[in-house]
Amino acid sequence: MARLKIKFKKILLKLSGEALAGEQGFGIDVVVVQKTAREIKEAVNLGAKLRIVIGGGNIFRGVAASARGMDRIQADYLGMLATLFNAVAIKEALKNEKISAQVFSSLPIQTLAETYLPHSAKALMEKGTVLLLAAGTGNPFFTTDTAAALRASELGTDVILKATQVDGVYDKDPRLNSDAKVFKEISYSQFLQIHLQVMDATAVSLARENNIPIIVFNGLIKGNLKKIILGSRTGTLIKG
């Protein structure tokens, strides 16, 4: 059977940690992780080469902790460790799906992950291994969104796919405003001028500098990732 023609092959997928918590709202929901692994498997079977950056908000949010009085730098490092929890969980789920995956960490924690080096990651990626990129940029004060844009730039990427819990980029928070309108397409500059919150400004600016389009989509809907890879207009496209 012939393989379907895909629009995007080299993909940076940004997953939120919160989505992995499922309905329990905290921690790692094994059922959600398994479903996520099956979506990734489907993308791999289409021929996509995936680099995945994972958030850690289901376990620990550095910004929230620092707002409650914790030292921001220490809080951010704990947040980075939380992303490693999620990356290892997804790796094990992919292993059960017979998909080759490797965790790379921006912080050196050799018992759980390889230390991230671009050339090592690229070599494995070319062999078809899914890259799970944990611990953000390895530096405090930078979000995992920024890590996604940075890794996309380093590893050569056709598109950044940001999986969220809403259907795209809205002009205001759709969870609080029933009249919120979703953008089908928006430029990098317009996104930054309006100060939209679905992705941080540093990440969008870095994507603009390297001319990498971003698609923000609902990652909770089964099949959305496949649709985007095949070229279906799903979510919001952010580009020049």
Q: Which domains does the chain have, with CATH numbers?
A: 10-239 (3.40.1160.10)
CB atoms within 10 A of CB 50: 24
CA atoms within 13 A on the CB side of 106: 25
Q: Extract the residue ranges of the chain whose pLDDT is less than 50.
A: 1
The pLDDT value given to residue 1: 45
The pLDDT value given to residue 157: 96
The pLDDT value given to residue 22: 86
Q: Model-level pTM?
A: 0.93
Alpha helix (H) residue ranges in the chain: 17-20, 30-46, 62-67, 72-96, 118-126, 144-155, 188-194, 201-209, 224-229
- pLDDT tens by residue, 120-161: 999 999 999 999 999 999 999 999 999 999 999 999 999 999
> Residue 171 burial (CB < 10 Å; 0-12/13-18/19+)?
middle
Nearest Cα to 217, choosing from 232, 206, 205?
232
Nearest Cα to 223, choosing from 64, 36, 12, 31?
36
The pLDDT value given to residue 175: 81
